[in-house]
Structure 1
Amino acid sequence: MHSTISAKKDILKIYEEVRAQTQFLCEPLEIEDFVVQPVMDVSPLKWHLGHTTWFFETFVLKPNVKGYKEFHPKYPYLFNSYYISAGDRWSRENRGQLTRPTVKEVFEYRSYVDDHMNNYLGVRQIDDQTSEAVILGCNHEQQHQELFLYDIKRILGDNPLYPIYRETPKPISGSNTKKNWLNIEEGIYEIGFQGEGFHFDNEEGLHKVYLHEYQIASGLVTNGEFIEFIKDGGYENHMLWLSEAWDWVNENKVNAPRYWKHEDGGDWWHYTLGGYEPINPDEPVCHVSYYEADAFARWKGCRLPTEQEWEVACNTFSFQVSKEMNFVEARNFKAISLVDYSFLGNVWEWTSSPYTPYPYYKPPAGALGEYNGKFMVNQMVLRGGSYGTPESHIRPTYRNFFHPHLRWMFSGIRLAKHIE
């Protein structure tokens, strides 16, 4: 986890911008929205606010500011997530049971830590190690900003009133949804982060891989294509599904992507952060699990790309990516149809690669070494970012990861295939 930013004013500016973005995401919400936890994977929104603040208090202020006094002695217990080295913590599945601290008190906690961070970053000389901790904290908060959107959509999307989080732009008309196959030649390629700038430790271990010639789709799978999969009995055909996936489909009675509903008139509708609306067949399909992505790929006679294939394709065709990319700054708050290849932004793209360490990977020492490495089991890699990702947060080497059955995140599909 490295950064080349060391100037005080630059670090303070980054910190303030990131914290302001979190505040922006909170603006449309009511107090009641901050306290709900419908399932274990969804954290109450006030917990995200407290946890990201705890991170700066624990890893920046307490080790570096002499005489710093914690805002509340129990907050480290409540807002620690999975950092065993940092002490005991409240159980994840019970976060929604806590009516206290109140939302107001959590915002006061944020203000308290912000005041101390502004004073510390603005007037003191920051060493490289502390600088890296601050930048890591900012990237950590950006991750939680995206989780914040996943969670508020899960909270509002299962409400029969279908509340609007934010008004969203009308669908882009005239967008090119036609796809072709991009060819990548056989060869040896370098994978992993290199150069300057921040990156997570799981991107480290620059290494060579051999890839057979393959093709990857120039665009994302659309809602319209996925509707054809449903119409063709995709969810009823066991031959398309991995054994574990087939059990998941039947046990959970899955018959469409998350938030989709088939209305009486035969049309498909879905909940978006802009409210309940008819599904646009030209927009990328979103909220599919790895199981669904893999089954759809089989139905199309294709496959999902490996993460190595995805990274090489992204780097090879990056010059084709326009400024039309759909990140959170665009404020679309949904997947949209784009003219370009959309490797970055819009929806996270499932790969067929399990989340495992790169060659030479070594997690950092101490509590921050628990950030990524301990999760390298039973999860699949996604690439590219989404409409909930800050543009400054993503890069072609970024490795996201989730369990294969999950789909409340902004996840979609890009196909690949072997050369016959």
Structure 2
Amino acid sequence: QQKHPLLENDYIGWFLLQHGQQHLETIQMVLYQKALKTESATNSMAKKFNALEPVPPTASFAEGIYEVGSSDVLACDNEQPLHEVKLSIFQIAEKPVSNAEYLAFMQLAGYQHEGFWSKMGWQWVTESKIHAPEYWLSDTSGNWFTVNTEGFSDIDPNAAVSGLSWFEADAFARYAGCRLPHEHEWEVAMKADPELMHSTGKVWEWCANIFFPYDGFRAFPYERYSSPWFDDNHYTLKGSSPFSGETVTQPSFRNFYQPEKRHVFAGLRLARD
């Protein structure tokens, strides 16, 4: 007797596990937002840290035909099918941008420098009056500290910056004389180099491109799992955060959010031609 498609290869169990882990990460986002709404520790004496210039991308990949996507029967519908893409020569950073590197952008008045921003990004940043990552707060001396579910703590200068919108990630990349990677570049690099893949898991990493269906896309297990978000208003994120489940840590996994969203545990990795 033929099994229902949802029962083949234990798909339904895997799908529920993956979806459940994604919701657990969403709960962490809510808890972080709640922590931000608590009384600000304005009297805290945050430990000052020094800014660093951004480290340019050094991992190089030649022009060629590469495979992206997945043929795994347990992969999400938007990861399928496995297919070939042609990429031009590119370089990608060996790790995500750090807090210290992002501080350099802020100290250069990056949030007030229109030249670093896209047209939509500049409109967003001027209207929202954003001037720091989502989870950064400043003490009475102007030093930065961070917030999490356990309270307030010093910022680790070497840790990946988190709490950025796509607009902020794009602006930082422009400031650094670089760009955000296309998701195909990101995926190809991570599949090719295990050391690069080991550098993920710190933050979700914004990519340059909007979230789109691959040729041959087939909605599964239901029509509205991915299809509604192919709306030209969601951008792809790759990688994972410390709160992500193991089911999303493969290079082909595609996350997606609107460009102004900052509650996501998201940062960036630099790329260039």
Normalised TM-score (structure 1): 0.58
Letter in 2 for 1:305: P
CA distance in 1 between counterparts of 2:57 and 2:83 reads 30
CA distance in 2 between counterparts of 1:138 and 1:347 reads 21
Q: Which runs of 5+ in 2 are unaligned?
A: 42-53
Task: Indicate yes or no: 2:228 matched with 1:349.
Answer: no
* Counterpart residue number, 1:142: 21
Secondary structure at the aligned position of 2:223 is classed as helix
CA distance in 1 between counterparts of 2:73 and 2:129 reads 45
User: Are 2:18 and 2:245, in contact at CA under 8 Å, matched by a contact in 1?
Assistant: no
Task: Indicate yes or no: 2:192 matched with 1:316.
Answer: yes
CA distance in 1 between counterparts of 2:206 and 2:137 reads 23
Task: Indicate yes or no: 2:146 matched with 1:270.
Answer: yes
How has the CA–CA distance of structure 1 residues 179 and 288 changed in structure 2, closer, same or farther, with 3 Å as cutoff?
Answer: same
Query: Among residues 100, 110, 115, which one is paired with 1:239 in the alignment?
Result: 115
Task: Indicate yes or no: 2:225 matched with 1:371.
Answer: yes
Give the C-alpha shift of residue 272 in structure 1: 2.0
Secondary structure at the aligned position of 2:6 is classed as helix
Q: Which runs of 4+ in 1 moved over 4 A?
A: 177-180
Query: Residues 56-88 of structure 1: CA distance to partner in whole angstroms, max 9, x if unpaired?
Result: xxxxxxxxxxxxxxxxxxxxxxxxxxxxxxxxx
Letter in 2 for 1:410: F
Give the C-alpha shift of residue 375 in structure 1: 1.1
Task: Indicate yes or no: 2:266 matched with 1:411.
Answer: yes
Normalised TM-score (structure 2): 0.88
CA distance in 2 between counterparts of 1:259 and 1:307 reads 25
Secondary structure at the aligned position of 1:129 is classed as coil
Give the C-alpha shift of residue 270 in structure 1: 1.3
Give the C-alpha shift of residue 180 in structure 1: 5.6
Give the C-alpha shift of residue 128 in structure 1: 5.4
Query: Among residues 92, 98, 104, which one is paired with 1:228 in the alignment?
Result: 104
Give the C-alpha shift of residue 161 in structure 1: 6.2
Q: Which runs of 5+ in 1 are unaligned?
A: 1-125, 163-176, 322-339
Give the C-alpha shift of residue 201 in structure 1: 0.3
CA distance in 2 between counterparts of 1:250 and 1:140 reads 36
Point out the structure with the larger helix share: 1
Greater mean alpha carbon deviation, residues 133-142 or residues 236-245: 133-142
User: Are 1:267 and 1:278, in contact at CA under 8 Å, matched by a contact in 2?
Assistant: no
Identity %: 34
User: Are 1:218 and 1:341, in contact at CA under 8 Å, matched by a contact in 2?
Assistant: no
Compute the RMSD of aligned alpha carbons: 2.0
Give the C-alpha shift of residue 273 in structure 1: 2.8
Give the C-alpha shift of residue 142 in structure 1: 1.1
Letter in 2 for 1:342: S
How has the CA–CA distance of structure 1 residues 390 and 179 changed in structure 2, closer, same or farther, with 3 Å as cutoff?
Answer: farther
Query: Among residues 379, 394, 412, which one is paired with 2:249 in the alignment?
Result: 394
CA distance in 1 between counterparts of 2:137 and 2:14 reads 41
Query: Among residues 217, 240, 247, which one is paired with 1:385 in the alignment?
Result: 240
CA distance in 2 between counterparts of 1:413 and 1:133 reads 32
The within-5 A match list for 1:99-178 is: 129-130=6-7, 131-160=10-39
Give the C-alpha shift of residue 224 in structure 1: 0.6
Structure of larger gyration radius = 1
CA distance in 2 between counterparts of 1:399 and 1:127 reads 26
Give the C-alpha shift of residue 277 in structure 1: 1.3
The within-5 A match list for 1:49-68 is: none
* Counterpart residue number, 2:164: 288
Letter in 2 for 1:388: F
Give the C-alpha shift of residue 360 in structure 1: 0.8
Letter in 1 for 2:227: G
Letter in 2 for 1:353: N
